[in-house]
Amino acid sequence: MSMQPRSKPGPEVAKLNFLAALRDAMAEEMRRDADVFVMGEDLRQNLYGSSAGLLDEFGPVRVRDVPLAEAGVIGTAIGAAMVGMRPVVDITISPFLYPACDQIISIAAKSRYIYGGQTSVPIVLRASLFYNAGSAAQHSDRPYQFFLGVPGLKIVVPSDAASAKGLLKTAIRDDDPVLFFEDFNLWSTSVRCDHDDEADRTVPLGRAAVKREGADVTVVAVAASVGLSMKAAEKLGQEGISVEVIDPQTIQPLDEETIFRSVRKTGRIVAVDPAHRTGSFAGEVLARVTETAFASLKAAPRRVCTPDTHIPFAPVMEKGLYPSVESIVDAIRETVA
Amino acid sequence: MKNSLHLEMYRRMVRIRRFEAAAVDLLAKGELAGGLHTTPGQEGAIVGACVALREDDYMVGTHRSHGHPIGKGASLRGLMAELMARSTGVNRGKGGSMHLADFSVGSLGETSIVGSGLPIATGAALGAQMKGTDRVSLCFFGDGASSEGTFHESLNIAAIWKLPVVYFCENNLYAISTPARETVSVEHIAARAAGYDMPGHVVDGQDVLEVYEVVKSAVDRARSGGGPSLVEAKTYRFEEHAIGLNHLSYREHAEVEQWRKRDPIALFRDRLLDEGVISRGDLDKAEEDVGAEIGDAIEFARSSPDPDPAEAFDHVYATTLETGA
């Protein structure tokens, strides 16, 4: 399995790469708080590109490579968190969460509740959304939707390097278990960012970001779909259709007020989500908008998701399954037709 | 022999037995909701292991959850109030019989998904090690859990990182109705320690002193940086898996009767008296005191309010997020 692209510290300090941003977030939090440590597969070799230099700076006690034992490793992180540590577990490819689902759902999410508030579980589970990568059905999942029905978890899905860094820092400081999903399609992307000013910037969990203001249609998008939606909005802007793009950033708990406020203004909603359509986060957004802002709607809500088939290996079959600028443009057009 | 320690061991064993007898009675009267998985027969294993720990050591348990926190020193009031679903319950009415936890005595929670506590105890040991404390973590689990992946993953992790943890198997020979002899590949679960390069010990779970001595040495070893151990106590559950499950035919009546003759409380009492360690009067007084404690716990629970139904929404998150810009 090839793990390109890698983050590499480049000469352009004004640009922040996605993977470097994640590394910086962890390093800064580890400097700030001695209880923060990282554990995961192949961290020390920086195989996935977001742990460069951590071993050298923090040593093997706080930068732990782990055996291939997802339930054991995540459960160990939970136990450590219960006694005062703040583990960040890089589970790498997100389907590797599945062997640990009992620990995530029955223990991490429920311990504070079932023990009546006696404990909390401040862990961050980092997992990449390794789709659109020619990796076939078992490696390509975008599984955040499975965890939406589990109260007690916080779920973050950043859409660019700058917000990813600020969100990861906040997630590490948060006292609850946070699932942090990183879109592979963003790994090689960078945003303009002044390192000096941004070094300690945090982005609050539970707050959506209005990425672009508009008057005619609200688009709520997650992960790399935010960038695609911005391109779609730009294109339609040239035709006189004004699109507002909202990045929820945290999908659980969801900042629904920001979405409702937008829909009350625009009267139209398109939800864009690279995950499978059935049971999707996009569907949840449309349900909440329909329940709460129905009277504001001027057109049927639309969603742009991946259809309910498995992800095939052949790129020619895979490519067209995910939301694209074109499919987002089409959906928006349908709402204003 | 250390008189006061032995009297305390005896008191805790009787406390577990009487607490559960009271709970069974309350269940029959309709004062308890839900299922009740009781421990009679296993008190020697539980108390022997718990007393080998310091109060600030960590402990993780199982769905058969009453004995472990009592063994670790939890107050009966909060435990009984929890069984009776009161707001003063140690879990504030959120956990019930299978999930008792009293973090004030290092009881990090009982879990009702078999095997799920093993990584938690492992992680508590990692936290203790990373924080530079000399705390030790002990995990109770059963013969059934020794077939779960989490058992094997946890022992491997504890071994490679030399974690201060003691894995303590209460082998009561049956996973509900399924015999360990048919489902566990080795005669002694302790033999599995060899696969993880750690010491494995088999102890007579009906002999609280033997359990104590062996667990104490494993705890001392863990505390001094020697790494994890696996201890298997051969024990027996006198009652069914849960109260109300009757007429099951998976075990012979004669077998149950044979084990009942090795009641860990009666054996310990006889031994203390035979050896003249503690007087009959002191043992009787301990039993009376426990009886009074149980009465007090029931009274406390009965006079405590129900939780407000709105509390169903509390404790979902430690940090509630302010949404909306």
Element containing residue B159 per DSSP (H, E):
helix B149-160
pLDDT of B42-97, one tens digit each? 999 999 999 999 999 999 999 999 999 999 999 999 999 999 999 999 999 999 99
Range of the domain at B290: 3-313
Interface test with B, best of A89, A107, A115 (most B CBs within 10 A): A115
Cα of first residue to Cα of last residue in chain A, in angstroms, is 45
Q: Do strands A250-252 and B200-204 pair parallel, antiparallel, or not at all (unpaired)?
A: unpaired
Q: Of A200-204, A241-245, B169-173, B224-228, which gets the smallest average pLDDT? A: A200-204
Query: Residue B112: how many CA atoms within 13 Å on its side-chain side?
Result: 16
pLDDT confidence tier of residue B34, bands split at 50, 70 and 90: confident
Residue B185 has a pLDDT of 97
Residue B195 to residue B197: CA distance in whole angstroms: 6
Whole-number pLDDT of residue A13: 54
**For strand B58-61 and strand B107-110, is the pairing parallel, antiparallel, or unpaired?**
parallel
What residues in B contact A250, CB-CB < 8 Å?
A: 321
B315: nearest CB among A78, A117, A204:
A117
Domains of chain A: 15-198 (3.40.50.970), 209-336 (3.40.50.920)
Partner-chain contact B321 A154, CB within 8 Å: yes
Query: pLDDT tens-digit profile of A267-311?
Result: 999 999 999 999 999 999 999 999 999 999 999 999 999 999 999
Do A27 and A53 contact (CB within 8 A), yes or no? yes
pLDDT digits (tens, 9 = 90+) for A107-139: 999 999 999 999 999 999 999 999 999 999 999
Assess contact for A214 and A244: CB atoms under 8 A. Answer: yes
pLDDT at B22: 97
Q: Residue A166 above 90 pLDDT?
A: yes
In DSSP terms, B170 is beta-bridged to: B142, B233
- Number of structural domains (chain B) is 1
For A76, the closest of B92, B108, B122 (CB atoms) is B122
Of A61, A250, A257, the CB nearest to B130: A61
Interchain proximity B321–A253, CB inside 8 Å: yes
Residues 53..92 of B with a Cβ closer than 8 Å to A: which?
58, 60, 89-92
Q: Is residue B109 part of a domain?
A: yes
Residue B319 covered by a domain: no
- Asked if A116 lies within 8 A of B325 by C-beta distance, the reply is no
pLDDT at A146 over 50: yes
Q: Is A132 within 8 Å of chain B by CB?
A: no
Q: What is the pLDDT of residue A199?
A: 59
Cβ contact B91–A115 (<8 Å): yes
pTM over 0.90: yes
Rounded to the nearest angstrom, the minimum Cα separation between B11 and chain A is 26
* DSSP string computed for A57-83: HHHHHHEEE--S-HHHHHHHHHHHHHT
Q: Is B276 near chain A, with CB under 8 Å? A: no
Of the listed A139, A195, A276, A310, which one is catalytic?
Answer: A139
> What mean pLDDT is predicted for residues A31-59?
96
Chain mean pLDDT for chain B = 95
pLDDT tens digits, residue range B263-281? 999 999 999 999 998 999 9
% of chain B surpassing 90 pLDDT: 93
On the question of pLDDT at B302 being above 80, the answer is yes
Average pLDDT over residues A314-332: 97
Residue B321 in domain = no
Whether residue B318 lies inside any domain: the answer is no
Q: Is B8 on the interface with A (CB under 8 A)?
A: no
- Range 154-173 of A in CB contact (< 8 A) with B: 154
**pLDDT band for position A201 (cuts 50, 70, 90):** confident
Chain B residues with CB under 8 Å of A82 CB are 108, 120, 123-124, 127
| For residue A10, pLDDT beyond 60 | no
A116 vs B94, B137, B149: nearest CB:
B94
pLDDT exceeds 50 at position A2: no
A 10 A CB-CB count for A58 gives 18
Task: Evaluate if residue A198 carries a pLDDT over 60.
Answer: no
**Annotation marks residue A139 as catalytic:** yes
Tell me the two tokens of residue A89: 């577990």
CB within 8 Å: A258 and B89: no
Query: How many residues belong to chain B?
Result: 325
Q: Is residue B253 part of a domain?
A: yes
Judged against a pLDDT cut of 70, whether residue B325 lies above it is answered with: no
Q: Give the range among A146-150, A200-204, B153-157, B211-215 with minimum mean pLDDT.
A: A200-204
Place of tokens 């489902």: B183
Which residue of A79, A119, A174 is in closest CB contact with B121?
Answer: A79
Q: Strand A269-276: give its sheet, edge to edge.
A: A209-212, A243-247, A217-221, A269-276, A302-306
Residue B322 lies in a domain: no
* Model pLDDT, residue B274: 96
Please tell me if residue A34 touches chain B, with a CB cutoff of 8 Å: no
Q: Are B123 and A122 inside 8 Å of each other by CB?
A: no
Other CB atoms within 10 A of residue B175 CB: 19
Interface residue B101 vs chain A (CB under 8 A): yes
Mean pLDDT, residues B169-181 taken together: 95
For B57, name the nearest residue in chain A, comparing CA atoms only.
Answer: A83
Q: Kindly report the backbone phi and psi dihedral angles of residue B232, in degrees, each rounded to the nearest multiple of 5, phi listed first.
A: -115, 120
pLDDT above 90 (res A253): yes
Nearest CA in chain A to B317: A152
Contact B192, B154 (CB under 8 A): no
pLDDT band at B244 (very low <50, low <70, confident <90, very high): confident
Dihedral of the CA atoms B145, B233, B179, B107 (nearest 10)?
Answer: -40
Q: Which residues of A touch B116 (CB under 8 A)?
A: 75, 102-103, 106-107
CATH number at residue B80: 3.40.50.970
Chain A: nearest CA to B92, how far in angstroms? 5
Chain B contact for A3, CB < 8 A? Answer: no
| pLDDT value at B323 more than 80 | no
